[in-house]
Amino acid sequence: MLNRRDLLKAATIGGPAALLPWDRTWDRAPGGVRASSLTLPAAPAAPAASGPERSTARIAPFEHAMPLPPVLSPASRTDTSDLYQLRMAETQVEIVKGLQTTVRTYGGCFPGPTIRAVMGREVVIHQTNDLSVHTSVHLHGGQVQSQYDGLPMDLIAPGATREYRYLNEQVAASLWYHDHAHELEAENVYRGLAGAYLLSDPHESGLPLPNGEFDIPLLIRDARIEADGRLIYTDPYECPHMLVNGKERPFFEVAARRYRLRVFNVSPNRHISVRLADGTPFHQIASDGGLLAGPVELNELTLAGAERAEIVVDFARYPVGTSIVLENTAALESERSEVLRFDITRAAEDQSRVPDVLATLPPIPEATVHREFDLTTFPDTRINGRKYDPNRTDVRTTLGSSEIWTIRNHLTRKPAGVFHAPHSFHTHLVRFRVLDRDGVPVGPAEAGLKDTVTIHPGEAVRIAMTWGAYPGEYVYHCHHMVHSSHGQMGRIDVLPAGSEDNSSDSSPSSGAKESEAKESGAKESQAKESGAKESGARTSGSSASGAGRRRRRHRFHHHARRRHHHRGRKHR
């Protein structure tokens, strides 16, 4: 069995900076100013380099045509399921023109191949790890049974294979799959372990939206490529290259008609704000969890890491033979703002349109449980004073429980820059509705189904959800991946309906944050002294550990017999 110490050793394969690359700039900031938006200051001075001198590869936009990630074909099919085979391995690709770069890939593709799924039809994926590091695959935004969710400690050891089953019992949405191995996920995703998972349903497919070749995924992320082609895992302030579908600032030829663009921010730790350079508006039609109630006209779209949005852009506004640039207004002053150039190369018939009504959203549930979560950045990234411990249950809930969570970002001093100032909060298993920010209701672009939400410094955000559809062990965490890698994550156990145990494992909602933090610190000290008893990870061969599932079932049956009548109270 792999323990926490072994996992830390595995994490350091890439060198000392591989595990904790971003601590150098953001924890030495002066205080006193609350950042109320994502507006970026000037880039901070780069810290002194250690080791060999580095030289960044040249930045020459629009030298590459933007590729489309290939759609993965099933290895076999049954009446109810599609079976896929994927292999994680290092591959050399051309990101910057003329340079070969080694990346970590699913199926030899950077980013990974697109998986197209249909509501109600099961997808089965056999993931084989041919890398030298442990991995775990999470379907972000998916309603997935616990043993297939890609928990941080449900690891695939090098050389092993694990099966993942996705029942796809949810509405159409732009999901994505990525690595989730604890303390390794930030670097694994940065080095390439991410891909799009596009789920459709009969309602969405029946809408007159652009489809087929006019339905385009855009996986956007930052990177630092050296002059010799190496991909360097480092601070986001030192990542001047902006990639779309694996190429540095490419161009894409389009027809003069409407396109549906599925925008993914797959950067581990950078937010983006994209707009067409001439300010032309576009329509947002979907967010993380699926279609919005109706289209929302925007001039600019801001996405934290892991957030997605679908927009419809009408290129018929531009004459054939012209171009329009998609730019990132959140680029640092030291960076180029271009992300992608659209070249309008031909006329085309267009029978698509954007309906005034896109979907009927489920009503916001009436909550019987209220919980509060404090996200802290100094002196370390924690939730309610605690770091992630896979052997500790932080929250218990039951299937069907409707809850409101209040999430607060307790950062009150301005860091050297703001990439680390906001937190992005993500819940596994459920999609939620964002209610308000500091008591002000959110606008229509943020009012749809979500699975990731940004919490700005000093801000309190309320979200509402109903827990389903499966019992089991899950997690919630900040999706700035360096924060979750550092332990800004909690475990939630979803008990079978009727268990009536909506308590935390730590303490009731007395507001005793100090005592919780002390208790957590004591537990962590004991864990450091106990060596082999540290957070034991579950490594995998071809399937999840049966013993691990039996232990989880025993805990859930034990908790189901307890009766703590806490409904309607605030909990931690």
E strand or H helix at 253, and its extent? strand 251-256
Q: What angle do CA 27, 31, 33 make, to 5 degrees?
A: 125
Residue 173 C-alpha from the chain's centroid: 14
Is 563 within a domain? yes
Spatial separation of the C-alpha atoms in residues 364 and 466, rounded to whole Å:
9
Is 299 within a domain? no
**What is the distance between the terminal CA atoms of the chain, rounded to a whole angstrom?**
31
Is 237 within a domain? no
Label residue 557 left, alpha or beta by phi (over 0 means left) and psi (-120 to 50 means alpha).
alpha
Percent helix, percent strand, percent coil in the chain, to nearest 5: 15, 40, 45
Q: What pLDDT, on the 0 to 100 scale, is given for residue 498?
A: 82
Spatial separation of the C-alpha atoms in residues 565 and 263, rounded to whole Å:
44
Q: What pLDDT, on the 0 to 100 scale, is given for residue 377?
A: 86
Q: What pLDDT, on the 0 to 100 scale, is given for residue 501?
A: 61
Spatial separation of the C-alpha atoms in residues 303 and 316, rounded to whole Å:
26
Contact 63, 355 (CB under 8 A): no
Mean pLDDT, 10 residues at a time, over the chain (572 residues)? 42 35 32 26 37 80 98 98 98 98 98 98 98 98 98 98 98 98 97 98 98 98 98 94 98 98 96 97 98 98 97 98 97 95 98 98 94 91 97 97 96 60 94 98 97 95 96 97 95 90 48 35 38 40 37 38 35 41
Is 444 within a domain? yes
Number of structural domains the chain divides into: 1
**Boundaries of domain holding 465:** 369-514+548-571
Is 211 within a domain? no
Spatial separation of the C-alpha atoms in residues 41 and 33, rounded to whole Å:
12
What DSSP letter does each residue of 260-321 carry, written as one string? EEEEEE--SS--EEEEETT---EEEEEETTEEEEEEEEES-EEE-TT-EEEEEEEGGGS-TT
Q: What pLDDT, on the 0 to 100 scale, is given for residue 365?
A: 86
Q: What pLDDT, on the 0 to 100 scale, is given for residue 413?
A: 58
Q: What pLDDT, on the 0 to 100 scale, is given for residue 422?
A: 87
Q: What pLDDT, on the 0 to 100 scale, is given for residue 338?
A: 98
Is 410 within a domain? yes
Identity at 273, one-letter amino acid code: S
Is 71 within a domain? no
Q: What pLDDT, on the 0 to 100 scale, is given for residue 14?
A: 36
- Domain of residue 454, CATH code: 2.60.40.420
Taking the CB of residue 562, how many other CB atoms lie within 10 A of it? 12
Is 443 within a domain? yes
The pTM (predicted TM-score) of the whole model is 0.83
